[in-house]
Amino acid sequence: MTGRFYRCTRLLLALLLVAGLNACALFQPRDPLSISVIGIDPLPGQDLEMRMAVKMRVQNPNETPVDFNGIALNLEVNGQPLAAGVSDQQGHIGRYDEAVITVPVSITAFAFLRQAYGLSTLNSLQGLPYKLRGKMAGGPLGTVRFSDEGKLDLPKGGNLNW
C-alpha cells in the first residue's frame, strides 16, 4: 500500500506543478493600455448638472486581447476634480489593436464653481493640466486600470481638443 500511496502522491504533486505553471501564465506582466482623450461632446443635463461624452482612443499594446464589461473614469483639470462617469458598455480590444470608447460624465455645479474660482486668476485657459484616470472591468482579476494626462489645447473656435 505504501508504494501505491507514493505513486498517487507523486502524481498529485506533478498535477499541482502543471496547474501552478499554467496559473503563472495568467499573471504575465502586461503593458499598460494607452489612453488618449480625443474629444468631448455636450450631452443634455439636468438642473445644476452638466453632462458630456468623453471620447477616448484605447490602444492595446499586448499580445492578449482585452474584453471589458464596464468602464469608470474620473477627470481632473488644473489639479481639481471636474467630472466622473461610468458606463456598463461591453467591448473587445484585440491584441495590438485599438478602439474608440465614449463614456458619459457628469459635472456638478459645485465642481464647476470650484473650477471657475480656480481659473479666475488665469489669463488664459491654454495649457491647463488635466488627468484622466479610470478602469475597465473584465471580471475577476481582469480589471485594467488606465490613466492619461496632458495639457488642454483650446482653439479660438471654442471646441475642446486634448
- Return the beta strands (E) in the chain as ranges: 34-43, 49-60, 66-68, 71-77, 80-87, 91-93, 97-108, 129-136, 144-151
Q: Which of the pair, 150 or 94, is modelled with greater confidence?
A: 94
In terms of Cα–Cα distance, which of 82, 77, 79 is closest to 105? Answer: 82
* Spatial separation of the C-alpha atoms in residues 149 and 110, rounded to whole Å: 23
**Model pLDDT, residue 108:** 83
Q: Residue 66 CB: number of other CB atoms within 10 A?
A: 20
* Spatial separation of the C-alpha atoms in residues 14 and 71, rounded to whole Å: 40
* Encoded amino acid at 128, one letter: L
- pTM score of the predicted model: 0.68
pLDDT tens figures, 40-75? 898 998 887 889 898 999 999 999 888 899 999 998
* DSSP run (H or E) holding 53: strand 49-60
Supply 9's cell numbers.
502522491
**Model pLDDT, residue 158:** 47
Q: Can you tell me the mean pLDDT for 7-36?
A: 68
CATH class for domain 31-151? mainly beta
* Spatial separation of the C-alpha atoms in residues 17 and 25, rounded to whole Å: 13
Ranges of each domain in the chain: 1-28, 31-151
Phi then psi dihedrals of residue 19, to 5 deg: -65, -40
